[in-house]
Structure 1
């Protein structure tokens, strides 16, 4: 093993024999420390035990001379002669009980204060410094939360945990991140009050979970399904989620009514000041024609095939002899042909081009989309959509034996140099629905976000369509902020189509209070206090919305509680009390449910935390290379060491030894 130290001879490593038994080291170190080698000690670490060991400076000179004091013998190597094998361990600091929960609450509160200001129709913007380029202006709670890192390591732990609740809500429901953050802080703060009075944190956690289950059940009962074909219903949800912007509501309502709730809607930055929707009907994949000679529309440089046969072949096609019998049969039927295969090359591609140019057969060839198992899956989707049969190599079917009855059919196919779009497939409805159900089961079973995204794309191409919203704005900063807002509104609208809508403005959570109070009366012990925590925090989102609108939150909450209608509440945008559903102020039930569930989960974890462990912050050495400022090891008694400090990139000069 080696230990590093320095002297007037330069940086060295002390190597002890590998068979040195550690219990013998204290005596050996004591003999070295008490020797006349030097007067000042330097702390190093034992690479075998990781325990601090103190060596006197100047020890290497004794080791180099082979002094009898050094037992077991030590060998000194100049730095760089062999790469040192050192294990550096970062020391940790630990705090317990109130010393742990106090900083956690401080961190959670700082995060919640920054995020809370964005809640509601009159919420304020946050400006985020990205370190480069223009600052980012946003009203999105999760974007603000993700940009926050606190200096205190213990406070930062609390902030990061609540940030996780916001991110999880965004991943599942697409919105409600600010509500999740506000509820997390409120539950944690209320819980700490109970813990201070002597309540058991674990019992509180169980009570919190019971209350959340009751509240989410009430939300489900309260939810009203919306008609996916009703443009006005979809516009209501999208407008509220889009910060009460009617243009966002119109754009999303247009997109959803065209592609349905199973369709895929993407949001991209546009190239103009206008925001508009492009809808791709049918199935589209990113593969274009293999030869420009296939082009039928010279003006648009596209291949357009009507009432077309489709060959789905997994392998490469290069031999034209195997393909000729099929081409002859299709030529007799006087129908165009699209070949989708791993590749079409050589004689086979030349045969297709020549026959097309001579007017014998209208044909086109494209590469199959995807790779490996994903390619097989997409070919299977196209087969279900077009009523054809995908020819896989593991089935042992040769190209020569493929019949016209094995081919798929489509009313219209449009192919550019980059994309292929199939419209009006001839597949049976039962086959397509079976394929859709299979993909949905795979989506539920997968744990991979990437796989889930690809499966949803496949689902959309089979069951719905693809719509792209091109976001327009006057400046780049406005465009990015608007794009994030539309993306959140899209996700919230999707959630509303899945689980229905509830009254907005924090009213739905407030209306759950009666059911939670009933549960509180039926619960005993500290669990009852846990239920009471949830009862006390259900009004927090409404309070925050009212406060951001310039009103007293407590007054607004009391006024709403006195109103008899379940859908009546406070409209912060119009500054009036009304029937929120009739006024179009609604929230997706999935967003409200997910916000409460994730907030309670994180807050319960924080409440049951008894200790925090973080790394001890280490001050970084000033830039300028290896700086060894060890000073003079053993100068004259009256001179105290006269050492020259290290210069920037050069190692510092060791101190002068005792002067003769």
Structure 2
């Protein structure tokens, strides 16, 4: 039994160690953490997500296991929602502490875990009930500022998200200089390049085709015999030919006919080319030319070619404007992709796939923009771009699922719902009490980090004032959080609480397993 208690103590010690460290970064008055490695390597970190990735090990095998459990939890929340690492850590730490005391006092771990689950479910229902739609660009920018602590980035992201709407997508790139700029894309853009660099010679940066026909060839073209039928099908019209690659005699023949034909090579991921060509075909009304699909180049006729109002070709991309495809079919495809993206986004490990589907639907719908993030150094540009991508995702969630009062107030306002749950027994009641105690933790930690005097008294004042009221950590004043523009994304608030509850429940179960081991 002594060994079991020691093991539990070490597991929870590592968990607490990482939770305390991540908690330092919560709120506008949060601090920074100095991460040092080797003899002369060091980095000042203020992002909880970056910090969780940097702290890969703590001393002691069991302590490291506890820290790893929390690290995996917070990074899963970050991957899914783009924010919430520090909040998850603070909630999980408070839940684990209260559950640990209950088990030490004789409560059964499984019943405590069940109580935590019921309390978290009640609180999440309360969060959804208090959620309100995002009011406009001011609210969006406020959310972005809270997520980035970067006024310039927040302003641009707020504008982009407001203009593009809930179905939009923002492509974030790193700039070579220190200027941050945005560009709204008119049409539908793919990464591509001219098959021949010479078509953009003499310092030309782009080439525009008006009302061209389009041939989409899903396989590499190397033979002139595969190109001739395409040129014949186009007749005297200008032809844009899009393929994964064009080499040899095929390129030579196209070069000869460069006055009426332009070849473009897609530079997107080849494993996704079937998706790219399918989307291009839908937009332009073109059939995808491929022997595998039953349409070899030799069989191509004029009816297999698509058309667009305008095409813009640059060294790094292809933009299609005014495709001749069936608009209703395009919107149906976009809606299906959007629905699938939301399904995947609700899972723990499918966020990358969801983001890819989201970009596809936004491109089909014509709601895209690029954000070029500048900085004084390459590392700073990389960091700002990463923050911009995470924040853009979070803002998208906010437009879809709404916002709740920020500063930890939304959790405090869930107390009534949790306290209204009738427990089946004393042990389950202990789990519910753990949730009630944990709901106060983010509010208190935010004020403690901001050095606001007497956080506990401030909490009592906020509760007495009424729902939606809390303390602005930047001023220390009691305020209506929504009116002050201090809000959190509902999805992040609920996601952090669910993850914290699951992890605390796992820790309680681990105590049972070790105790019987």
TM-score (norm 2): 0.90
The alignment status of 1:270 with 2:175, answered yes or no, reads yes
Distance 1:486 1:300 in 2: 31
Match of 1:206 in 2: 114
SS at 2:219's partner residue? strand
The alignment status of 1:97 with 2:4, answered yes or no, reads yes
Match of 1:310 among 214, 225, 233: 214
The Cα shift of 1:561 comes to 0.5
The Cα shift of 1:156 comes to 1.5
The alignment status of 1:189 with 2:189, answered yes or no, reads no
Match of 2:157 in 1: 252
The Cα shift of 1:440 comes to 3.8
The answer to which of 438-447 and 497-506 deviates more is 438-447
CA offsets per residue over residues 301-333 of structure 1, 9 Å max, x none? 53321222111122344554565465345344x
TM-score (norm 1): 0.71
The alignment status of 1:513 with 2:513, answered yes or no, reads no
Match of 2:322 in 1: 424
Counterparts in 2 of 1:573 and 1:488: CA distance versus 1, 3 Å: farther
The Cα shift of 1:555 comes to 1.0
Match of 1:129 in 2: 36
The alignment status of 1:167 with 2:72, answered yes or no, reads no
Match of 1:116 in 2: 23
Q: Is the 8 A contact 2:193 2:266 kept in 1?
A: no
Counterparts in 2 of 1:321 and 1:178: CA distance versus 1, 3 Å: closer
Counterparts in 2 of 1:449 and 1:248: CA distance versus 1, 3 Å: closer
> For structure 1, which runs of at least 5 residues remain unmatched after alignment?
1-93, 614-660
5 Å matches for 1:341-490?
Answer: 341-357=243-259, 361=260, 363-369=261-267, 374-440=272-338, 442-443=340-341, 444=343, 451-474=353-376, 479=381, 482-490=384-392
Match of 2:130 in 1: 222
The alignment status of 1:242 with 2:144, answered yes or no, reads no
Distance 1:274 1:293 in 2: 30
Distance 1:370 1:270 in 2: 20
The alignment status of 1:561 with 2:463, answered yes or no, reads yes
Q: Is the 8 A contact 2:310 2:320 kept in 1?
A: yes
Distance 1:403 1:299 in 2: 36
The Cα shift of 1:215 comes to 0.5
> For structure 2, which runs of at least 5 residues remain unmatched after alignment?
none
Counterparts in 2 of 1:325 and 1:168: CA distance versus 1, 3 Å: closer
5 Å matches for 1:314-329?
Answer: 314-320=218-224, 323-324=227-228, 326-328=230-232
Match of 1:497 in 2: 399
CA offsets per residue over residues 194-248 of structure 1, 9 Å max, x none? 1111100000001100111111011111111226xx42232122122223x4323
Count of residues in Structure 1 that have an aligned counterpart in Structure 2: 508
Root mean square deviation of aligned Cα: 2.8
Counterparts in 2 of 1:143 and 1:182: CA distance versus 1, 3 Å: same
Distance 2:307 2:83 in 1: 41
Distance 2:47 2:164 in 1: 26
Distance 1:339 1:270 in 2: 31
The Cα shift of 1:370 comes to 5.0
Match of 2:449 in 1: 548
SS at 2:215's partner residue? strand
SS at 2:319's partner residue? strand
Q: Give the structure with higher Rg (CA).
A: 1
Q: Is the 8 A contact 2:79 2:351 kept in 1?
A: no
The Cα shift of 1:365 comes to 1.0
Q: Greater relative contact order (Cα 8 A, min sep 6): structure 1 or 2?
A: 2
Distance 2:30 2:171 in 1: 26
CA offsets per residue over residues 478-515 of structure 1, 9 Å max, x none? 55554454444333222212211000000000000001
Counterparts in 2 of 1:508 and 1:350: CA distance versus 1, 3 Å: same
Counterparts in 2 of 1:421 and 1:483: CA distance versus 1, 3 Å: closer
SS at 1:288's partner residue? strand
Q: Is the 8 A contact 1:140 1:485 kept in 2?
A: no
The Cα shift of 1:572 comes to 1.0
SS at 1:538's partner residue? helix
Q: Is the 8 A contact 2:309 2:323 kept in 1?
A: yes
5 Å matches for 1:81-96?
Answer: 96=3
Counterparts in 2 of 1:307 and 1:232: CA distance versus 1, 3 Å: farther
The Cα shift of 1:414 comes to 1.9
Q: Is the 8 A contact 2:233 2:300 kept in 1?
A: no
Q: Is the 8 A contact 1:169 1:176 kept in 2?
A: yes
Q: Is the 8 A contact 1:226 1:501 kept in 2?
A: yes
SS at 2:484's partner residue? coil
Distance 2:430 2:44 in 1: 41
Counterparts in 2 of 1:398 and 1:269: CA distance versus 1, 3 Å: closer
Distance 1:588 1:103 in 2: 35
The Cα shift of 1:371 comes to 6.5
Q: Is the 8 A contact 2:290 2:296 kept in 1?
A: no
